[in-house]
Amino acid sequence: MQRRAFFKNAFAVGGGLSMWGYSGLAALASQAGPGRDIPQAVLSWANGQPLQYGRVHLSLPPLVENGFLVRMSVRVESPMTKSDHVEELRIFSELNPSPFIANFFLGPQLPEARVETRIRLADSQAVWAVARTNTGDFWCSYQQVIVTLAACAG
Amino acid sequence: MKTLLSSNTVQSRRQFVVGAASVGSGLAIGLELPWGLPKLSAAPATQQVLPASLQSSHPEIGAWVVIEPDDRVIVRVVRSEMGQGTITGLAQLVAEELECDWSKVQVEYPSPGESLRRKDIWGSFSTGGSRGIRTSEDYVRRGGAVARQMLVQAAANQWSVPIAECFARTSFVMHRPSGRKASFGSLATQAAQLPVPDAKAIALKDPKDWTIIGKSMNRLDSLADKVTGAQIYAIDLKLPGMLTATIRQCPVFGGTVKSFDASAVSGMPGVKKVVQVDNRSVAVVADTYWHAKKAIDKLPIAWNEGPNAKVQQADILKSLEEGLANKQAFIGLQKGDAQSALNASKKTIEASYFYPFLNHAPLEPMNATALWTSSSCKAWVPTQDGQASMAAVIEASGLPAAQCDVVKVNLGGGFGRRGAFQDFTTQAVLVAKQMPGTPVKLIWSREEDMTQGRYHPIMMAKMKASFNENKELTGIQMRLSGQSILAAVRPAIVEKSKGMDPLVFQGVAKDGEHAISYDFPNIVIDHAMRNTHVPPGFWRGVNINQNAIFMECFVDEMAEVAGMDPLEFRRKYSANRPRTLAVLNAVAERMNWSSKPKAGVFRGIAQQFSFGSYVAAGCELSVTGGNKIKIHRIVAATDPGYAVNPAQIERQVSGSFVYGLSALFEQECTVKDGRIVQTNFDSFGSVRLAQMPPVETILLQGGGPSWGGVGEPTIAVAAPAVLNAFYQATGRRLRTVPLKNLGVTLV
């Protein structure tokens, strides 16, 4: 409850239009909003810094057969300039044996903050993508994925 | 041409009607709607005269129920019907809470795509693990209750009376004080517009008040069509312009395609295209299956067979035998100190057992049909899990999920092959992707089906027991050695369990829905995981098949040393387990166990707890010539907690014994040069009608908070009952399956 409350507060405080940017609200509308407990691994990484929901666009198939190979792409809204860019992007799992799926280090030498890879998922769960900017802000998003095999052997 | 699909959604029916109007005679796919719904012919859509009910709107009352103005009740079912009767049972659960007239009930499959669009509204489509009823009973009953409440509310609103004065019975809502009543059909449109109440806040009926659950309602799917051959299975599906493909996969698991010469067959009759499907398979697309099959038989394919081509059956057996003696193993159950008990004992016994690889071998081989364009992909799949098929289609098509869908088509047997493993669906889409705009049906040959399975894991067991001077059991060791399914298909569970596969202990587990049902003193059960290159899968009953033989045959061996009747021995060690005792006693009573059987007839008994159900079986058999078994009867007791459709459960139990006895007597898959030897039913037999004994089923309902499964639990108990009876008849312990390898046959 505490984590959820924290998230709600962050949302309320950061919810001003200026904070979300031009497409922040659109991003919110298109994805499941906060209201889900943030995984401990994400909180640990943020280390007390407020997590803001948005700017991160996480794309995963909503259904996967066995989770052995899941295509994932993440794009973060950022001008990727020297003064305003994403420094690090981390992918977290709620239910894999290890919550840490991937770390990407980015910088202003990149034209955009966008990565694509394949990941493994142990079970139906939400995958979280969290971006840290050079200014120390944390932006995040999550997506729910159903791993159908889970129903057979669980 | 007449085509029948066994699934469609209300939405897709609407879409079909809309599409028919706008597209005209474009893709005139004929539909016959499932189970008694009005049928559409395959005539060009513009010429179709649609039944009025299909042109109207369809009042959806909550997610699970649609009620038509003519009072027909359409219940949504997402689990797959494959003969086990799940659609009837699930509809009974909904109808019970809905308070509808059962004679008006029909069912339909929502599509996995529709479920996804509606945020997984119908939950899991997986039809396996004996879970259809037991894991959805609560939410589907609530689905019925929600719809009832909405209908009652609609009536109360219409009559301007308090809802508390109204109630529903047999498809009517009644107003108690005035005696007014209104049919569900007349209320449906208004009810559909009401907000959907919170399902969890509605109290479900007390089981003692059930009038539909617990009754042997007739099946909602057509038995007549099955008997006459009119039923269309996925392999029979025909779509306009459809081509047929067949596939050849590298016969050695893990091998890949090196090269193939398409030109050698491209001029053969009917051949349209030769395509590489993935890195380990090639397909021929032709106008008919026969032409595709003739061409692929002639197609020169070179394989990179890889190191697995060196693997022989003897290598696998040697590895398992090593595992029986290895000091290291994963402990699944430990109580007391079995090793010390063994060391201290002067009387010990030991026995080794073996259970082979098995193929599911459904009568209908793997197949699927797919239509791919650059903007959409649709697949027609005989599937045990529509969502898994959908996942495969999304991945293989390369298209967004919203542009994909799956139509569930009747499947000619599943047994675990068509749920968790959607290789055939993926292949159908990958082939169709190379034929854009043309529907392609991919059919595996029987030989592909036999040699490209997901096999029941191979397993050995070494059982040891120790006794004191009073012949009392002091300790048991059970060492399993063999393949893990989960290590191959759900490694995350194995990793979570620190390398152990918890599923390998089904039926003898320390707790849960497969917990051991004896209280033995000093026991250890462990597993030396010896994985092979043969891909394992969930074969009906999964690991209870071998564990029931290992444990229940050894229980008889222990009873003999203890000088006790096998039934009494079992009762002694399950004395604190009333439901285990109840199934044992029910079987014993029906068989008149305490009396002597007729001369030449011998009895055996076995029991197990699995998939949340308590089961026991007894058999009476006679043996001639020392090796010809005639089973005179099998008596089976099963307690799944609650029985939704008793007649259907009885049929399931009988059917499970056909499958279980076939494995016991006839079936084995072996490995030579890395590939499976058995390619057809000539070498992978089945129990025939004349061999099949009569089965008497006793149904107990122990109730309780958890519901048990039906499809799998009993499959495992017939085999040890037969083996135990065979020992009584001959004094010979049979510890290796299948019995044909020991020269023992069923007559």
Contact: B401, A96; criterion CB under 8 Å: no
Report the C-alpha gap between B385 and B246 in whole angstroms: 23
Q: Which residues pair with B372 in a beta bridge?
A: B377
C-beta atoms surrounding A11 within 10 Å: 18
In the predicted structure, residue A7 carries a pLDDT above the cut 60: no
Band of residue B223 on the pLDDT scale cut at 50, 70, 90: confident
pLDDT at B384 over 60: yes
* Closest chain B C-alpha to A144 CA, distance in angstroms: 10
B619: which residues sit within 8 A by CB, 6+ positions away?
B603, B604, B605, B631, B632, B633, B634, B635, B693, B718, B721, B722, B725
CATH 3.30.365.10 fits B57-223, yes or no: yes
ipTM for this model? 0.82
| Banded model confidence at residue B25, pLDDT cuts 50, 70, 90 | very low
In this complex, the residue of B125, B489, B495 whose CB is nearest that of residue A66 is: B489
- The pLDDT tens digits for B485-510 are 999 999 988 998 999 999 999 999 99
CB-based contacts of A103: which residues, under 8 Å, 6+ apart?
Answer: A88, A89, A90, A91
- Chain B residue closest in CA terms to A147: B388
The pLDDT value recorded for residue B58 is: 81
Q: Do B129 and A96 touch (CB under 8 A)?
A: no
Residues 385-404 of chain B whose Cβ lies under 8 A from any Cβ of chain A: 385, 387-388, 390-392, 394-395, 401
Residue B698 belongs to what H/E stretch?
strand B695-699
Residues of B in contact with A146 (CB under 8 A): 120, 387, 391
CB-CB under 8 Å, B493 with A65: no
The pLDDT value given to residue B706:
92
- The mean-pLDDT minimum among B57-66, B97-106, B361-370 falls in B57-66
pLDDT level of residue A34 (50, 70, 90 thresholds) = low
CATH architecture of the domain with range B313-358+455-746: 2-Layer Sandwich (3.30)
Any A CB within 8 A of B495 CB: yes
Nearest CA in chain A to B392: A65
Flag if B126 and A97 touch (Cβ within 8 Å): no
User: Rounded mean pLDDT of B425-452?
Assistant: 98
Instruction: List Cα–Cα distances, B4 to B13, B17, B236, B438, B670, in angstroms.
Output: 14, 17, 9, 19, 38
Of B675, B455, B437, B640, nearest to B545 by C-alpha is: B455
Mean model confidence pLDDT for chain B: 92
Distance of CA B438 to the CA centre of its chain: 32
Strands B628-639 and B695-699: parallel
Nearest to B420 among A71, A97, A152 (CB): A152
Whether A144 shows a pLDDT value over 90: the answer reads: yes
Contact at CB, A65 and B128, closer than 8 angstroms: no
pLDDT, position B32: 33
pLDDT at B492: 87
Query: Angle CA(B563)–CA(B564)–CA(B568) in degrees, nearest 5?
Result: 170
**Tens-place pLDDT, residues B76-88:** 999 999 999 999 9
Count residue pairs from A and B with Cβ separation < 8 A: 77
Task: Answer yes or no: is pLDDT of A29 > 60.
Answer: no
Q: With contact defined as beta carbons under 8 Å apart, do B58 and B185 qualify?
A: no
User: Which residues of chain A lie closer than 8 angstroms to B493, CB-CB?
Assistant: 122, 153-154
**pLDDT tens column, B299-318:** 999 999 999 999 999 999 99
B485/A153 CB distance under 8 A: yes
pLDDT of residue B635: 98
Nearest to B387 among A63, A67, A71 (CB): A63
Of A71, A96, A149, which has the smallest distance from its Cβ to B489's Cβ? A149
Q: Residue B57's pLDDT band (boundaries 50, 70, 90)? A: low
Give Cβ neighbours of residue B423 (< 8 Å, ≥ 6 apart). Answer: B366, B452
Q: Which residue has the higher pLDDT, B222 or B131?
A: B131
- Tell which residue, B85, B230, B62, has the closest CA to residue B154: B62
Rounded to the nearest angstrom, the minimum Cα separation between A61 and chain B is: 7
- Compute the radius of gyration of chain A from its Cα atoms: 15
Q: Are B586 and B700 in contact (CB under 8 A)?
A: yes
- Which residues of chain B form CATH 3.30.365.10? 57-223, 235-306+366-443, 313-358+455-746
Considering only CB atoms, which residues of chain A are within 8 Å of chain B?
61-67, 71, 96-97, 120, 122-123, 146, 148-154
Q: Which among A120, A150, A152 has CB closest to B538? A: A152
Cβ <8 Å between A151 and B486? no
CATH number (3.30.365.10, 3.20.20.70, 3.10.580.10, 3.30.70.270) of B235-306+366-443 reads 3.30.365.10
Cβ of residue B572 closer than 8 Å to a chain A Cβ: no
> Residues of chain B with pLDDT > 70: what percent?
92
- What is the structure's pLDDT at A87? 98
- Where in chain A are the domains? 2-153
The dihedral built from the CA positions of residue B490, B493, B496 and B501, taken in this order, carries a sign that is negative
pLDDT category, A11, cuts 50, 70, 90? very low
Predicted pLDDT at B539: 97
* pTM for the full predicted model: 0.89
CB atoms within 10 A of CB A16: 9
B117 to chain A, closest Cα gap in Å: 10
Residue B30 in this model has a pLDDT that exceeds 60: no
Whether the pLDDT of residue B275 is over 70: the answer is yes
Whether the per-residue pLDDT at B713 is higher than 60: the answer is yes
Q: Is the pLDDT of residue B49 over 80?
A: no
Give the tokens for residue A32: 């499941």
pLDDT value, residue A36: 82
DSSP character at residue B235:
G
pLDDT at B8 over 70: no
Dist CA B621 CA B629 (whole Å): 7
pLDDT, tens digit, 9 for 90 and up, residues A78-136? 999 999 999 999 999 999 989 999 999 999 999 999 999 999 999 999 999 999 999 99
For residue A95, the chain B residue with the least C-alpha distance is B492
Distances (CA, A) of B491 to A98, B379, B494, B581: 13, 29, 5, 36
In this model, does residue B740 exceed pLDDT 50?
Answer: yes
- Contact status of B30 with chain A (Cβ, < 8 Å): no
Looking at the predicted structure, is the pLDDT value of residue B208 above 70? yes
pLDDT value, residue A150: 64
- Backbone dihedral region for residue B635 (phi beyond 0: left; psi -120 to 50: alpha; all else: beta): beta
Whether B606 and B548 have beta carbons less than 8 Å apart is answered as yes
A32 vs B189: which has the higher pLDDT: B189
Q: What percent of chain B has pLDDT over 90?
A: 90
Q: Does B568 touch chain A (CB under 8 A)?
A: no
Query: What pLDDT, on the 0 to 100 scale, is given for residue A118?
Result: 96
pLDDT, tens only, A38-64: 899 999 999 999 999 999 999 999 999
- Span A2-153 CATH architecture: Sandwich (2.60)
Alpha carbons within 13 angstroms on the beta-carbon side of residue B168 total 27
Condensed to tens digits (0 to 9), the pLDDT of residues B134-179 reads 999 999 999 999 999 999 999 999 999 999 999 999 999 999 999 9
pLDDT at A15 over 90: no
- Please report the pLDDT score of residue B410 as a whole number: 94
Q: Looking at the complex, report in whole angstroms how far the Cα of residue B491 sits from the nearest Cα belonging to chain A.
A: 8
Chain-chain contact of A63 with B390 (C-beta, under 8 angstroms): yes
Contact B116 A63 (CB under 8 A): yes
DSSP H helices, B178-312, are: 184-192, 223-228, 289-298
**Residues on chain B touching A59 (C-beta within 8 angstroms):** none
